[in-house]
Amino acid sequence: MRSTQIRSLFFDFFGARGHHRVPSSPLVPDDPTLLLANAGMNQFAPYFLGAAAPPWPRAMSVRKCVRTVDIDNVGRTTRHATFFEMLGNFSFGDYFKAEAIAYAWELFTEGYGLDPGRLWVTVYEHDDDAYRLWRRAGVPADRIQRLGAPDNYWDMGVPGPCGPSSELHYDRGPGFGREGGPAVDGERYQELWNLVFMQSLRGAGEGLDYPVVGGLPRPSIDTGLGLDRLAAILQGVDTVCETDLLRPVLTRLEELARRRYPGREGGEVSTAFRAATEHARAVAFLVADGVVPGSTGRGYVLRRLLRRAVHRARFLGVTGPVVPELTAEVVAVLGADWPELERRRDTIAEVAHREEEAFDRTLRQGTRILDSAIGRAVAGGRTRLPGETAFELHDTYGFPVELTAEAARAAGLEVDRDRFADGGPGMSDDEGSHLISSVERGESGPWTCPECGEYAVESGQRFEQGRVVGH
Ligand code: ATP
Ligand code: MG
Ligand code: MG
Ligand code: MG
């Protein structure tokens, strides 16, 4: 089933059940506390809260989402993208759990024809209602797992509506990971659809540490079904990059690189193919929604994705312009479904050209400096590259720290991590993820690191390698 059909089947199904279609909100949200739309229900918060009367009791949409928290997963897992489309149905104080669960089951098994024997369900550990309703729908007890708040309780990260959730997963078989259900392996048991039972109100607090301060006036429903992931399952391909949403872009990259994408088992080469492909789509959508490359906030997210795409393509051996070519393919593939891509075709091409050229200059200049520093270290019989070199390259020339680390490793050197951490951005991927996720909450600082609660941050740029200066 083509992705266009997947979308229209969703709208036919929920349209026939009284849902009003609302357009996707732009990636740049109205909400100044949110960097980029990452789930797309934010526009509906006032309806859930009862602060505004919803114009329709039921709604449905396909929403554009960007999640920079997933950046390090892209190309490494089969299921993560930084930009993806999320289908969803909503009830604003109208139907609740029973209908939401019955609809989801019917659409999956009868609409999309997914094998019920491969579907697994997770529910919030204390949500006996949801458990009972899935049993009633016909899901056997051994394919329902109860999970805790990190997986199956949902909130917006700020005071507002919240509630337990329940998710539908598809078992892709032993070739994709360990058995034991979604609680054990998220790659094998691919999470497809998240149903949120919005019923409470959360207060202030960090992470999962917040009080529930009351109930919503009327329980509501918010769901998110990943189009990219469902397309991968229905099209029988291994990763989101091989669906009809992205495969033509991957093919274009194969042409430019003059080599074949080696498939899921292809190690770093496959990862690079998928990351460059996926990032090019995110770049096209961000530019289409008016984001301009820059050194902070949204502009920095765009720049970072674009640079990663260039870097991965260079790794694959593409020497000429690559992002303009890939984004042109994105417009060709998705322009009919997302007309803003067509409208902004020229701007997308222009931004891609300009940024790629500038980045290539940075790469050339930085590589010269780095090569001579590595040469000096090797000649001097040292095993480490001074942290100051990496910091200076990053701070003065904008040279990505990961490239410094890679080149040093290739020459048999370590980067002096301790001194590097004192003087500049560090390199841990874990830190990358948690700090970048804090940037998603707002465009300008200062922020406090959500993990340690200590470090105020000045600008998005300081997150290049997920480490704050002085962190
Ligand atoms: P995962 O656990 O696999 O990272 P999630 O729990 O973070 O997913 P939700 O926040 O529940 O995802 O989002 C709702 C749906 O959106 C998911 O069930 C999935 O289908 C889709 N989705 C989430 N993140 C991504 C992503 N990075 N790329 C593609 N689809 C995604
Ligand atoms: Mg996730
Ligand atoms: Mg999940
Ligand atoms: Mg989820």
> Is-contact 353 324, C-beta < 8 A?
yes
Cα of 371 vs centre of ligand 1, distance in Å, is: 41
Atom of ligand 1 nearest to the CA of 86: 16
Give exposure, 67-105, as e/b (b: 16+ Cβ within 10 Å): bbbbbbbbbebbbbbbbbbbbbbbbbbbbbbebbbebbb
Is any atom of ligand 1 closer than 6 Å to the C-beta of 64? no
Is any atom of ligand 1 closer than 6 Å to the C-beta of 80? yes
Atom of ligand 1 nearest to the CA of 226: 20
Is any atom of ligand 1 closer than 6 Å to the C-beta of 70? yes
pLDDT, one tens digit for every residue, the chain (471 residues): 999 999 999 999 999 999 999 999 899 987 777 789 888 677 788 899 888 999 999 999 999 999 988 988 999 999 999 999 999 999 999 999 999 999 999 999 999 999 999 999 999 999 999 999 999 999 999 999 999 999 999 988 778 899 999 999 999 999 999 999 999 999 999 999 999 999 999 898 887 888 888 899 899 999 999 999 999 999 999 999 999 999 999 999 999 999 999 998 899 999 999 999 999 999 999 999 999 998 888 998 999 899 999 999 999 999 999 999 999 999 999 999 999 999 999 999 999 999 999 999 988 899 899 999 999 999 999 998 888 888 888 777 778 777 788 888 889 998 865 554 433 333 333 233 323 333 333 333 333 334 433 333 333 323 333 333 333
Residue with tokens 């910091």: 391
> Is-contact 276 309, C-beta < 8 A?
yes
Cα–Cα distances (Å) from 66 to 128, 336, 372, 391, 427, in that order, read 33, 20, 38, 29, 23
- Pocket probe for ligand 1: among 42, 79, 436, 437, the residue whose CB has the most ligand atoms within 8 Å is 79
ipTM of the complex: 0.99
- Name the closest-CA residue to atom 20, ligand 1: 226
Per the structure block, which two tokens stand in for 151?
């997986």
| Cα separation, 24 vs 215, whole angstroms | 28
Q: Is the pTM of this model over 0.95?
A: no
Calculate the CA 320 to chain-centre distance. Answer: 28
- Name the closest-CA residue to atom 25, ligand 1: 80
Which ligand is closest in space to the CA of residue 186? Answer: 1
- Pocket probe for ligand 1: among 176, 191, 192, 233, the residue whose CB has the most ligand atoms within 8 Å is 191
| Cα separation, 355 vs 303, whole angstroms | 8
- Pocket probe for ligand 1: among 71, 80, 120, 172, the residue whose CB has the most ligand atoms within 8 Å is 80
Per the structure block, which two tokens stand in for 221?
């429903």
Bridge partner list, 169: 120, 191
- Name the closest-CA residue to atom 16, ligand 1: 226
